[in-house]
């Protein structure tokens, strides 16, 4: 009986330890640069998990976590809401990063050009907005290339050739490796507003400040009125908490990928 009891205790501890190990080593990367090993950062195998555990143990203390925030907007441009968003950002003197869909930019070229003219950054969100986790490497390459070429024909922001975001945040390790081989930084986010749903401006604001990190890359969408309405309050909350608004590209030039991928939550923003 004692042997059975001991075995059960051991199994329980092993199970609990395994769960904790998996929890501690879940993929969290918000930025994957061409120099990084995509499988180490986002793979789910034991080797990748051990790598992430060792990285956290050895690198965390040395990481710098400045109060920088990049507002990023996916999709579009859209003829109604994008101009309203640009007006709001301009009035607040806030630069932002727009991950534009090539096909939509083709349809509304003057809006893509206004985004650049207003001092914002433009990056690649593919040509037709497919789920890249369901595409072959050749298809992924084609989507990124076509999106890049359309955007470059309209604007001259070098970020369209160096930064991309997978539509819906859907990808595989192979997707990331294809983008890396093309020389792209894959930029995801540390703070998801959930504004793709039907939510109020207040809900968006509260979600952003609750999930604030330092530094912070915020996922938003340019085709939502509630998002436009939430911008002034979000900017005010973060500025009062000591944050500086920058583009995603500027953020990545000022901090290491590790600092972004392991950005700590900043409860002072929500408490402010």
Active site residues: 74, 221
Name which of 117, 122, 86 is nearest 104 in CA terms: 122
CB of 55 within 8 A of CB of 258?
yes
Classify residue 52 by its DSSP letter: H
Asked if omega into 208 is within 30° of 0 (cis), the reply is no
Q: Which residues contact 128 (CB under 8 A, 6 or more apart)?
A: 101, 102, 103, 143, 146
Q: Residue 233, Cα to own-chain centre: how many angstroms?
A: 21
Report the C-alpha gap between 250 and 247 in whole angstroms.
Answer: 5
Query: For 43-142, where are the E strands, in sequence order?
Result: 68-74, 97-100, 121-124
CB of 66 within 8 A of CB of 213?
no
- Which uninterrupted H or E stretch holds 229? helix 225-240
The residue behind tokens 């309050």 is 233
Query: For the chain, where are the E strands, in sequence order?
Result: 31-32, 68-74, 97-100, 121-124, 163-164, 185-187, 191-192, 216-221, 244-245
Report the C-alpha gap between 195 and 222 in whole angstroms.
Answer: 10
The residue behind tokens 């101009």 is 83
């Amino acid at each position: 009986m004692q042997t059975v009891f001991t075995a059960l205790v051991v199994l329980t501890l092993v199970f609990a330890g395994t769960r904790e190990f998996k929890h501690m080593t879940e993929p969290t990367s918000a930025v994957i640069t061409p120099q990084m090993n995509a499988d180490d950062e986002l793979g789910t195998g034991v080797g990748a998990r051990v790598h992430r555990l060792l990285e956290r143990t050895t690198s965390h203390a040395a990481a710098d976590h400045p109060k920088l925030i990049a507002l990023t907007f996916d999709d579009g441009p859209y003829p109604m809401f994008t101009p309203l968003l640009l007006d709001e950002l301009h009035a607040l003197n806030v630069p932002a990063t727009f991950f534009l869909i090539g096909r939509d930019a083709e349809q509304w070229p003057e809006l893509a050009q206004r985004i650049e003219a207003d001092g914002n950054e433009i990056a690649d969100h593919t040509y037709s907005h497919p789920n890249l986790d369901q595409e072959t490497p050749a298809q992924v390459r084609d989507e990124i290339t076509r999106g890049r070429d359309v955007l470059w024909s309209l604007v001259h922001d070098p970020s369209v050739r160096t930064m991309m975001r997978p539509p819906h945040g859907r990808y595989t390790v192979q997707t990331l490796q294809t983008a890396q081989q093309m020389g792209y930084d894959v930029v995801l986010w540390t703070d998801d507003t959930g504004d793709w749903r039907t939510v109020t401006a207040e809900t968006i604001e509260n979600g952003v400040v609750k999930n604030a990190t330092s530094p912070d890359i915020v996922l938003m969408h340019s085709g939502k009125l509630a998002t436009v309405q939430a911008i002034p309050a979000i900017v005010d909350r973060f500025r009062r908490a000591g944050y500086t608004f920058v583009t995603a590209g500027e953020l990545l030039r000022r901090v290491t990928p590790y600092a972004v991928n392991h950005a700590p939550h900043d409860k002072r923003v929500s408490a402010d």
